């Protein structure tokens, strides 16, 4: 077998997530079909993150295992990939490299605006919450997330993890120009020149964890949850119900996956 580490970018809007599912449109399904146009014999793919329905990736890491001796390169792959997927790089890798296991950190970003009274439904790549937000209260909660915490109240049951403990290395919220972020990418700011960016970096994440955190932080920002309530959810007992909805997937991006050089 021949092994490659590929970095791909994709718009997940019209797909049911990354992972292949029989009878459904997925990013992995699209990628596998494209690879089979180039290669003969058995071809398999494995990703660093199984992004959910509607979620995007700036730089998803894929391991490609192929029987065919043909050398893969980005130009050949991009020629057969659909327009919502772009290959950024392909390099040979070790056969025992596992993208989801060998990674040392993942970075996600969530982009949103908060114009009161506006739905933001015309925006494809930036989410919208129709509330004025108390950013100071949100920033206080972000500091709580750093380090090792139990996120038992901030995920969707059904993931594969056997523990809800996670370590967050970095976490911040700031105003950015999405037009700059989206330069030379598949994504477009559609005239939006300023939005909020929630950035979070950690060893690993639970199912829907980032979207649950954003939904809860919005409630802190609009006053429906207090900072103390958020702290109790993070440090207290597991709750049967959560008062927020998961944030819209359109604003979420897998930004980067990092590895130790010797693991690849």
Over residues 90-148, the pLDDT tens digits come to: 999 999 999 999 999 999 999 999 987 666 677 899 999 988 999 999 999 999 999 99
Cβ–Cβ < 8 Å for 27, 85: yes
Task: List, by residue range, all CATH 3.30.70.660 domains of the chain.
Answer: 105-258
Tokens of 193: 């020149």
Tell me the CATH number for domain 105-258.
3.30.70.660
Per-residue pLDDT for 158 more than 80?
no
Q: What is the pTM of this model?
A: 0.95
The interaxial angle of helices 209-221 and 227-235, nearest 10 deg, is: 150
Distances (CA, A) of 138 to 112, 134, 197: 14, 7, 13
At 95 the three-state DSSP class reads: coil
| 118 vs 52: which has the higher pLDDT | 52
Cβ–Cβ < 8 Å for 49, 11: no
Q: Give the pLDDT of residue 255.
A: 98
Percent of the chain with pLDDT over 90: 88
Q: Give the pLDDT of residue 261.
A: 84
Cβ–Cβ < 8 Å for 148, 165: yes
Task: List, by residue range, all CATH 3.30.70.580 domains of the chain.
Answer: 2-101
| pLDDT bracket for residue 240 (50, 70, 90) | confident
* Burial of 19 (C-beta count, 10 Å sphere; 0-12/13-18/19+): middle
Q: How many Cβ atoms are within 10 Å of 162's Cβ, its own excluded?
A: 5
Q: Give the pLDDT of residue 165.
A: 96
């Amino acid at each position: 077998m021949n092994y490659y580490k590929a970095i791909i970018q994709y718009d997940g809007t019209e797909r049911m997530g990354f992972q292949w599912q029989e009878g459904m449109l997925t990013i992995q399904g699209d990628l596998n079909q494209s690879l089979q146009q180039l290669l003969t014999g058995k071809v398999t793919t494995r990703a660093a993150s199984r992004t959910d329905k509607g979620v995007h990736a700036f730089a998803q890491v894929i391991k490609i295992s192929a029987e065919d001796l043909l050398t893969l390169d980005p130009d050949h792959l991009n020629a057969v990939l659909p327009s919502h997927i772009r290959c950024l790089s392909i390099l040979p890798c070790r056969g025992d490299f596992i993208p989801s296991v060998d990674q040392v950190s993942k970075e996600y970003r969530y982009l949103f605006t908060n114009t009161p009274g506006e739905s933001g439904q015309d925006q494809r790549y930036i989410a919208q919450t129709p509330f004025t937000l108390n950013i100071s209260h949100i920033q206080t909660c972000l500091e709580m997330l750093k380090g090792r915490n139990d996120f038992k109240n901030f995920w969707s049951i059904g993931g594969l993890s056997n523990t809800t403990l996670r370590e967050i290395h970095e976490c911040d919220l700031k105003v950015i120009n999405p037009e700059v972020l989206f330069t030379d990418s598949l994504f477009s700011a559609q005239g939006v020149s300023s939005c909020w960016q929630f950035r979070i970096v950690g060893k690993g994440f639970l199912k829907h964890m980032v979207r649950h955190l954003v939904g809860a932080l919005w409630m802190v920002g609009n006053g429906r949850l207090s900072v103390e309530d958020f702290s109790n959810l993070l440090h207290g007992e597991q709750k049967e119900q959560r008062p927020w909805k998961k944030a819209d997937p359109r604003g979420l991006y897998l930004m980067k996956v990092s590895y130790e050089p010797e693991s690849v």
